Amino acid sequence: MINQRSVDRPTVCAHKLQLAWQILVPFLVMAGLIIAGAVLVVTGGAPRTGVWADVSLIWLLAPALFFALAFLVIMITIIYGMAKLLQIMPRYTGKAQDIFARLSAGTRKVADGTTKPFVWFRQAGAVIKSIFRL
């Protein structure tokens, strides 16, 4: 393998500078702030941690309460809609049942009509066979 020396082009230097100022510095500043906050909370004493715990609990429960409220509204709407639908349905379900009864009778009549010739030919064949067997 050939050992090549890295070329310091202006774009490579600009990239290294951007890496330092746009990624590493903000990351290190935020890490320092987080560590300082943790130290402040630990050394601040028990009364301050209780307040921060309560604030954290509120921020954790707020989204859950929001989604629970949305779910409750949706369920109330569904229950109200079903109650209204059950008031209207008996009129139309009777009519639908009559329509499907007529449709069933018509289908049965057509099915019986299509099978009638085949049944008749089988019966006629059976009668002819029984006559010639004697």
The confidence band for 6, taking pLDDT boundaries of 50, 70 and 90, is: low
Confidence at residue 103, expressed as pLDDT on a 0 to 100 scale? 96
pLDDT at 114 over 90: yes
Q: Distance (Å, rounded) from C-alpha 87 to C-alpha 78? A: 14
pLDDT at 100 over 60: yes
Q: Distance (Å, rounded) from C-alpha 12 to C-alpha 10? A: 5
pTM over 0.75: no
**pLDDT 10s digits, 16-71:** 888 888 888 999 999 999 898 888 777 765 566 677 788 888 989 999 999 999 99
CB 36 within 8 A of CB 43: no
| In the block, residue with structure tokens 């707020």 | 62
Domain boundaries, the chain: 71-133
Pair of tokens at residue 99: 């329509």
